[in-house]
Structure 1
């Protein structure tokens, strides 16, 4: 078995899909591992470190011999053309709204797996790439906000006077939001947060932050048995928006984290809300790659909108390339292990495995995932 670790060529991607530790594991399972030259450079892993544990360092041409190809981003058309039919490709495939790209993967005869479709079940916790990367994104959002904010974050009592603590408001208490809350608290800020799920109130409070929501009977019944939020009535939405708008006007930093798989990011903060904020306020939009939660945010820039500095850095986890790569590599190799017969030293894809069913996009020339079967191999 030959595994190929690709150097990312898409945009400014800094992460890599393997670490020294995961290379050791793959070699122990019987893989000959080839790492593309420079694949780990942006993540502070020199080629020599991979070579020291038994990997070969090669060019992109080596991908054509590989049985398994590990990536961060979905392969480009040029990369696809270099892969052999039947190869397994594991990456963040960004399948939503990209039917033509998925169809091209099928047409090439590749068995592809989308890590972001990993089910959130106990067995797959160590493979949950969305959580591992969102955790880092929430942390980095606060660090970036603190760097742009031209005041101190914690309260400081000095002989010359008192510096008040920065007021930080986190919108969304998922993995990224909870880490943003924890990080802002560590920096000494006065933190508040909101979420549409009633269960989030306890999580927010456990981190020492204040929960902001209209807590009426509709809110208390807003969560489904599966832990997801029900769609709220127009009347509730109007009341919640008014409460949030009033709260935002008093904040120094706002961090938005709302993403909905397969849909554009919901608009949470309007220009009017930004206009109401204090001079020098900062906002961070963690959903900028999906259209953004903040009106007027610009991907890749710190844009000044209505007097507020709106940070719109895409791939926030990639700004912590070394840490993000280490976690992503562990996610991906743990998933790969479920397909390895260690005694026979062969790769076995079991179509009945719940993890395979959830993540496999294409196989044997067809688009096989039920959520994307509209992307037929002939569409491209």
Structure 2
């Protein structure tokens, strides 16, 4: 079968040279329209090197499987004799073809009907079921991640200052204050990008369970307990009640008045609720920036105009860009291409170059909006095993529904072969009995030991208990430096073991040899792991030499602080 990659006129392309090689490896003939990847920085020669054929746009559209970034606005209905000769663009899509694209089926029923009338099997990349097995196909989350990052880039370009605080001989400047509304995929990406630039980031979400995620990104959680909501059992975010909305609005009013940058991401089933009123904008400082990631759904700010840059009467810039992922075409195309390749691989179990879609597969069924001349949207609901308390709603730009936080699995369509047995935890009573038995045996061992040995057993027991509670409460981020400290403890054990090797008691000598061997393995292995971990954060010689670093560090009078240079 032939897979066509037409040029749909935008900067994005749903296949990169890397993913094209994957498709060729699955047995397909890949036809790429000339210049289709130019906007993302992929020349035709790169596609040819990956095994694709560079063809005309009409030939790419006439392929058995056609992959584009977004579905066309309209599609001509074929006449009694079929398609007219020489049809161009989307009208060149042949009868019975497979179309892979972002279709937005809920908002474009006429297009879905037109695809069904042509007999096209339409697979919507933006209708992937939010289950763990389909995460590699989740285009919406990938694009939301890009949009959140790009939102900070756009805000930095508009803001009249630096994000990080500066300490210079001439004085100091404070860091920028960034307020993010919504801690979904886009919100967390924005928090991470703003924090990496040195800004002081505060974030709010109506879901109290995401507070830990916000803090893990280095931001401060804005709390409004009266605005907290629970998630519905169907996995969708729900609208706020009047009381919840009023409490949230009070928090927004306080935070926006103190913020230099505001990034909003709130979407509920594709609709953007109003979070920033015109009155709040009027209370913001001149020169402040609002980036509305919910502009495609109408916008969270009352002054947002989708696709436009608006300046308020008091000098606040409101950005309503709807094409933020398109402004980073290379990486966005890589994400799109990977999702398309994963989908084709899912439908090609035999790696024989033939797409065999399983309609019983819950993932394939959820994405199929038209097939066999019939409209198949909306799909049947996906039954998941996640309870309501374990669901994380998608209040983020580009997200439609919740992502189960406990890796919920579908109950049909081949899900059983992906299910993994989970071990049954021990009953609390059994654990208590085992702990009591171990304590009794330890006490008997101490009682039977000589008096001078009882003190050693006591010290050992206390060290085990204290060590367990200390290490179990150490953050995961500190495990690598903690390993280096435990290496020092192992060094003490090694020295003590070596001193006891010459003992006249053979038992003591044997234990000393074993202790020395184990401590040596722990020391060398620990330092090896630590070295490799630290190497992930170390620049290579090709990046910068020490001769280049020295003059930068000494240039403290230029206003660049050491923290921002690293």
TM-score by length of structure 1 reads 0.92
Aligned length: 366
How far the C-alpha of 1:344 sits from its partner, in A, is 4.2
Aligned to 2:219: 209
Q: Deviations over 1:263-319 (max 9, x none)?
A: 432121111111110111001011212211111222333210232111122121111
2:284 aligned with 1:287: no
2:312 aligned with 1:305: yes
Aligned to 2:151: 141
Mapped partners of 1:340, 1:72: distance in 2: 21
2:134 aligned with 1:124: yes
Specify whether residues 53 and 232 from structure 1 end up closer, same or farther in structure 2 by C-alpha distance, changes over 3 A only: closer
Q: Deviations over 1:76-114 (max 9, x none)?
A: 426442111111100111222211111111111100011
Specify whether residues 64 and 44 from structure 1 end up closer, same or farther in structure 2 by C-alpha distance, changes over 3 A only: closer
Structure 1 segment 299-378 matched on structure 2, within 5 A: 299-306=306-313, 307-370=315-378
| Aligned-residue RMSD, C-alpha | 1.8
Q: Deviations over 1:105-128 (max 9, x none)?
A: 111110001111111222111111
Preserved contact between residue 87 and residue 111 of structure 1 (Cα < 8 Å): yes
Mapped partners of 1:17, 1:64: distance in 2: 14
Mapped partners of 2:130, 2:378: distance in 1: 18
Q: Deviations over 1:330-353 (max 9, x none)?
A: 011101111114354321111101
Mapped partners of 2:275, 2:360: distance in 1: 40
Preserved contact between residue 81 and residue 108 of structure 1 (Cα < 8 Å): no
Preserved contact between residue 26 and residue 352 of structure 2 (Cα < 8 Å): no
How far the C-alpha of 1:211 sits from its partner, in A, is 1.3
Preserved contact between residue 73 and residue 93 of structure 1 (Cα < 8 Å): yes
Preserved contact between residue 14 and residue 43 of structure 1 (Cα < 8 Å): yes
Indicate which of 171, 186, 192 corresponds to 1:176.
Answer: 186
How far the C-alpha of 1:233 sits from its partner, in A, is 3.0
Indicate which of 193, 200, 206 corresponds to 2:210.
Answer: 200
Indicate which of 34, 44, 62 corresponds to 1:47.
Answer: 44
**Secondary structure of 2:299 counterpart:** coil
Mapped partners of 1:279, 1:343: distance in 2: 59
Indicate which of 241, 249, 252 corresponds to 2:260.
Answer: 252
Mapped partners of 1:208, 1:52: distance in 2: 43
Q: Deviations over 1:237-267 (max 9, x none)?
A: 2122112112111110000112233x43212
Indicate which of 99, 109, 114 corresponds to 1:99.
Answer: 109
Mapped partners of 2:40, 2:268: distance in 1: 28
Preserved contact between residue 268 and residue 293 of structure 1 (Cα < 8 Å): yes
How far the C-alpha of 1:177 sits from its partner, in A, is 0.3
In structure 1, the gaps of 5 or more residues are 373-380
Preserved contact between residue 89 and residue 111 of structure 1 (Cα < 8 Å): yes
Instruction: Select the structure that is richer in helix.
Output: 2
**Secondary structure of 1:239 counterpart:** helix
Aligned to 1:153: 163
How far the C-alpha of 1:171 sits from its partner, in A, is 0.7
Preserved contact between residue 3 and residue 66 of structure 2 (Cα < 8 Å): yes
2:23 aligned with 1:15: no
Mapped partners of 1:73, 1:228: distance in 2: 24
Q: Relative contact order, CA 8 A, sep 6+: which one is greater?
A: 1
Specify whether residues 105 and 251 from structure 1 end up closer, same or farther in structure 2 by C-alpha distance, changes over 3 A only: same
Mapped partners of 1:51, 1:341: distance in 2: 25
**Secondary structure of 2:146 counterpart:** helix
| The 10-residue stretch of structure 1 (306-315 or 338-347) with the greater mean CA deviation from structure 2 | 338-347
Preserved contact between residue 357 and residue 369 of structure 1 (Cα < 8 Å): no
Indicate which of 51, 73, 76 corresponds to 2:70.
Answer: 73
Instruction: Select the structure that is richer in strand.
Output: 1
Which has more radius of gyration?
Answer: 2
Preserved contact between residue 260 and residue 289 of structure 2 (Cα < 8 Å): yes
Mapped partners of 2:45, 2:341: distance in 1: 21
| The 10-residue stretch of structure 1 (178-187 or 91-100) with the greater mean CA deviation from structure 2 | 91-100
Q: Deviations over 1:4-41 (max 9, x none)?
A: 011123xxx31100011111111111111100111101
Mapped partners of 1:371, 1:258: distance in 2: 25
Specify whether residues 366 and 276 from structure 1 end up closer, same or farther in structure 2 by C-alpha distance, changes over 3 A only: same
In structure 2, the gaps of 5 or more residues are 76-87, 381-566
Indicate which of 237, 247, 262 corresponds to 1:239.
Answer: 247
Preserved contact between residue 169 and residue 255 of structure 1 (Cα < 8 Å): yes
Mapped partners of 2:223, 2:6: distance in 1: 45
TM-score by length of structure 2 reads 0.62
Preserved contact between residue 154 and residue 187 of structure 1 (Cα < 8 Å): yes
Aligned to 2:4: 4
